[in-house]
Amino acid sequence: MKLRTILATTSAALALAGAASAETMKIGITQNNVGVDSYQTTYEKAFIAAAEANDAVETVVLDAGGDVARQIAQVEDLIQQEVDAIIIWPTNGEAVIPAVRKAHQAGIAVIVTNSNIAEPGFDFVKSFSGPDNITQGARSAEIMCDKFKEMGVENEAKVVHITGQPGYTTAIERAKGFEDRLPEVCPNVSIVDTQPGDWNREKSQTVMEAFLVKYDDIDGVYAGDDNMGVGALNAAKAAGRDGIIFVGATNFAVGYEAMQAGDYWGSIYQSPVDDAEAALQTAIDVLKGEEVPFLNYFDTPKITQENLDEFSKPVF
Amino acid sequence: MATITRRQVGDALAQQGILIAFAVFMVAFTLANPRFLEVDNVFSVVRSSAILGIMALGVTFVVISGNLDLSVGSMMSFSTIVVLDLHDQIGPLLAIPAMFAMTLCLGALIGFLVGYLRLNSLIVTLGMLSAIHGLTLTYSGGQNMDIADKEGTWFGVFGQGFALGIPVPILIFVALAALLGLVLARTPFGRKVYAVGGNSAAATFSGIRRGRTVFVCYLLSAACVATAGLIQASRSLGSQNTVGQGLELEVLAAVILGGASLMGGSGTIFKTVIGVLILGFIQNGLLLIGLPFYVQFVVTWIIIILAVWLDIAAKRGRLWSPIA
């Protein structure tokens, strides 16, 4: 009886797969700059793996190498190849809009991944799949506030804020999420200074060194990503300043290790694998005609020293 | 009893205009925030500047010889990533010479192209900026490099260690500056560098081998970059593969700010060091004052222009040029 059920299920699944391959979805992706950092490298691997595991899709994987002109040419190539959907990781949120409009006019579904394009282009896009950076900033504020409450310093704690590169949407959104949320949950905690660390560990370390000279009393550091957070941590360690609570975002392997060592309190777990799989799934759902929200965020949970074991160490 | 004439004072000012500019900024920043001159702060600024500074020492030779080097930022990323990777594979003792050898090969290649083939240094090093960056990304597979066992290695000594109460990067910077300053000012090789940069044709007719001199300048530059990469790697025991990106312009700014001529033939190591310190202390001083970062970009630029102006004005003996 049991064997028969399994057999039946298997054959049903096979039949389904056969039906799907009869009308394969052709999905093209043009990425921002694979190979420049670990996140994007891992994203591409995960995307290809997810596409290969799914018989219903056929993919064309391209990379713009950070070059807007090349990305526009790639979108035009994909239009020529008559793909069903284009996933784009914009090299520049403004400059790619004309190309996106062209794809839209050619009847191709466009999905934006990871970082959104500018608002004038929203009409030509079916869905944005990516992390919600404002929520990430807000969650970092909550992580920090909860820890201050646990330590009993929520009424006097002073925080310095190291942001990503000025002008980057991700940097602006995370900073906004953090700065809006912190006064809501911990109204008496003050942000005493904000400076950019440019997503760069060394720059962040230099900024933190100046903060340590300028302020005798720093209770918390919020950094726009773990790379900068660890840079700030290195500065504090070198200056022999203990007891500072470090919270970052985009948990990197270095941040994860610093949490294991007990030096770094928390971060936001954003997996490039989830990011890539969510983008592919969004494209598939759009092509199947399913209802997909315009801002289709994938979840980026809080990670702290307390729940560290529930997450695997990031590969980047 | 010696009397100091007005002219002598004028000459002294003309010699050290950039030093005066430096002193003016230091006083201004200290008045704005007294902590500026605390030992800890000065150490941390000079330690941060040491990486840029060591690269600038080598580039000073290249610039005086009448050439440019825009590849030093990429090359620094390369040496940092390579030494971190090799550290875990063959141990620090072998990783350091291996990294130096690889970086020197890059320097030799540039030196060959610019020195012996006489290709334009701007084009060659601009090309190498991209090529070496690509090499680093290929080598690292796009990943960041981190030393696995951060507690159990002595490798951190170059970037984090102290000797005689002074951070090691500062000691290395000072030692290299003294050594290269002597080489430039007191050796036949140093004089050849000035001669080649000042008047290439005259130098050639005087029997100076231009190709070889330029080649050695790029080797020196690569050796300085490798040292900077070593300190960088050692300081954080891990690194992004874009760590040196963009530093080439800061290095060049420091060298030119110090008074070396982009046309070649003039400049000294001491003035380059002052240029490096000005850039480092401006950055730190503005942070301590707490200006918003977008204002900092503007103010940094204004200060640099002011410094260059003070330097020129001191040389002329008046604030504006009589023949402008």
Tens digit of pLDDT for each residue in A39-50?
888 899 999 999
Neighbours of A119 (CB within 10 A): 10
| Residue B89: pLDDT over 70 | yes
Which is more confident, A16 or A84?
A84
Residues in CB range of A191: below 8 A, 6 or more apart: A159, A160, A161, A179, A182
| Alpha-carbon span A238 to A222, nearest angstrom | 18
Q: What is the pLDDT of residue A3?
A: 52
Angstroms from A64 CA to nearest CA on chain B: 15
Q: How confident is the model at residue B310 (pLDDT cuts 50, 70, 90)?
A: confident
Q: Which of residues 238-297 of A touch B (CB under 8 A)?
A: 238-239, 252-254, 257
User: What is the three-class DSSP state of B40?
Assistant: helix
User: What is the three-class DSSP state of A129?
Assistant: strand
Spacing of C-alpha A97 from chain mean position:
21
Q: Quick one: average pLDDT of B173-185?
A: 96
Lowest-confidence region among A260-264, B225-229, B296-300: B296-300
Name every chain B residue with its beta carbon within 8 A of the beta carbon of A254: 144, 146, 238
Q: Do B287 and A34 touch (CB under 8 A)?
A: no
Residue B109: its H or E element: helix B92-111
Nearest to B236 among A35, A202, A213 (CB): A202
Residue B291 burial (C-beta neighbours within 10 Å; 0-12, 13-18, 19+):
middle
Nearest to A210 among B146, B240, B288 (CB): B288
Residues spanned by CATH 3.40.50.2300 within chain A?
15-130+272-298, 133-269
Name every chain A residue with its beta carbon within 8 A of the beta carbon of B280: none
- pLDDT digit string, tens, across residues A10-28: 554 444 444 444 478 999 9
Q: Quick one: average pLDDT of B145-163?
A: 87
Q: What is the pLDDT of residue A1?
A: 45
B144 close to A (CB below 8 A): yes
C-beta of residue A154 within 8 angstroms of C-beta of residue A188:
yes
| Residue B214: pLDDT over 90 | yes
| Alpha-carbon span A33 to A39, nearest angstrom | 10
Best mutation target among A31, A32, A34, A38 (most B Cβ atoms within 10 Å) is: A38
* pLDDT above 70 coverage of chain B, percent: 94
Residues in CB range of A234: below 8 A, 6 or more apart: A201, A205, B235, B236
Q: What is the pLDDT of residue A159?
A: 97
Q: What is the pLDDT of residue B125?
A: 95
B243 close to A (CB below 8 A): yes
Q: Quick one: average pLDDT of B294-320?
A: 79
Tokens of A196: 């950019």
| Alpha-carbon span A189 to A225, nearest angstrom | 21
Tokens of A57: 């899709």
Residue of B nearest to A234 (CA): B236
Lowest-confidence region among A178-182, A244-248, A287-291, B304-308: B304-308
Residue B81 maps to a domain = yes
Residue B15 maps to a domain = no
Quote the crossing angle between the two packed helices B269-289 and B168-186, to the nearest 10°.
150
Tokens of B1: 């009893």
- pLDDT digit string, tens, across residues B52-76: 999 999 999 999 999 999 999 999 9
| Residue A122: pLDDT over 50 | yes
Residue B174: its H or E element: helix B168-186
End-to-end CA distance of chain B: 40
| Residue B11: pLDDT over 80 | no
Looking at chain B, list the stretches that DSSP marks H as alpha helix, in order from N- to C-terminal side: 6-15, 17-32, 39-64, 72-90, 92-111, 121-140, 157-160, 168-186, 188-198, 200-205, 210-236, 247-257, 269-289, 293-316
C-beta of residue A115 within 8 angstroms of C-beta of residue A96:
no
Lowest-confidence region among A161-170, A209-218, B123-132, B313-322: B313-322
A121 close to B (CB below 8 A): no
A204 phi and psi angles, rounded to 5 deg: -65, -40
CATH superfamily, domain at A133-269: Response regulator (3.40.50.2300)
Q: What is the pLDDT of residue B13?
A: 63
A85 phi and psi angles, rounded to 5 deg: -145, 150
Q: How confident is the model at residue B12 (pLDDT cuts 50, 70, 90)?
A: low
Which is more confident, B34 or A232?
A232
Q: How would you label A183-212 residue by residue, b for 16+ Cβ within 10 Å and e otherwise? A: eebbeebebbbbbbbbbbbbbbbbbbbbbb
Q: How confident is the model at residue B263 (pLDDT cuts 50, 70, 90)?
A: confident
Domain at B195, CATH number: 1.10.3470
Name every chain A residue with its beta carbon within 8 A of the beta carbon of B290: 193, 214
C-beta of residue B171 within 8 angstroms of C-beta of residue B163:
yes
Looking at A32-96, list the stretches that DSSP marks H as alpha helix, in order from N- to C-terminal side: 38-53, 68-80
Q: What is the pLDDT of residue A37?
A: 74
Name every chain A residue with its beta carbon within 8 A of the beta carbon of B235: 202, 205, 234
Q: How confident is the model at residue B39 (pLDDT cuts 50, 70, 90)?
A: confident
| Alpha-carbon span A193 to A214, nearest angstrom | 10
Nearest to B177 by CA among B56, B19, B96, B73: B56
Domain tally, chain B: 1
| Alpha-carbon span A3 to A22, nearest angstrom | 29
Residue of B nearest to A43 (CA): B142
Q: Quick one: average pLDDT of B89-115?
A: 96
Domain A15-130+272-298 has CATH 3.40.50.300: no
What is the extent of the structural domain holding B90?
Answer: 33-146+154-316
Q: What is the pLDDT of residue B3?
A: 62
Residue B26 maps to a domain = no
| Residue A266: pLDDT over 70 | yes
Residue B265 maps to a domain = yes
Q: What is the pLDDT of residue A15?
A: 46
A36 close to B (CB below 8 A): yes
Residue of A nearest to B239 (CA): A201
Q: What is the pLDDT of residue A94?
A: 85
Looking at chain A, list the stretches that DSSP marks H as alpha helix, in order from N- to C-terminal side: 2-22, 38-53, 68-80, 97-105, 133-151, 169-185, 201-214, 226-238, 253-260, 272-287
| Alpha-carbon span B62 to B222, nearest angstrom | 11
Which is more confident, B150 or A183?
A183
Q: Which of residues 60-119 of B touch A (CB under 8 A)?
A: none
Q: What is the pLDDT of residue A307?
A: 94
Mean pLDDT of chain B: 89
- Tell me which residue has tokens 């001083």: B285
- pLDDT digit string, tens, across residues A210-262: 999 999 999 999 999 999 999 999 999 988 999 999 999 989 888 999 999 99
Spacing of C-alpha B129 from chain mean position:
16
Q: How confident is the model at residue B190 (pLDDT cuts 50, 70, 90)?
A: very high
End-to-end CA distance of chain A: 47
| Residue A83: pLDDT over 80 | yes
Q: What is the pLDDT of residue A20?
A: 44
Q: Quick one: average pLDDT of B260-264?
A: 85
DSSP class of A271: -
Q: What is the pLDDT of residue A228?
A: 94
Residue of B nearest to A212 (CA): B41
Amino acid identity at B270: F
Q: Do B290 and A214 touch (CB under 8 A)?
A: yes
Residue B119 maps to a domain = yes
Compute the count of residue pairs across chains A and B with CB atoms less than 8 Å apart: 84
| Alpha-carbon span B167 to B159, nearest angstrom | 8
Q: What's the Rg (C-alpha) of chain B?
A: 20
B205 close to A (CB below 8 A): no
| Alpha-carbon span A88 to A100, nearest angstrom | 9
Nearest to A221 by CA among A252, A231, A133: A231
Residue B150 burial (C-beta neighbours within 10 Å; 0-12, 13-18, 19+):
middle
Q: What is the pLDDT of residue A19?
A: 44
Nearest to B287 among A210, A227, A239 (CB): A210
Q: What's the Rg (C-alpha) of chain A?
A: 22
Which is more confident, B317 or B195?
B195
Nearest to A278 by CA among A7, A4, A47: A47
Tokens of A39: 């996140």
Q: What is the pLDDT of residue B261?
A: 83
Best mutation target among B29, B37, B143, B250 (most A Cβ atoms within 10 Å) is: B143
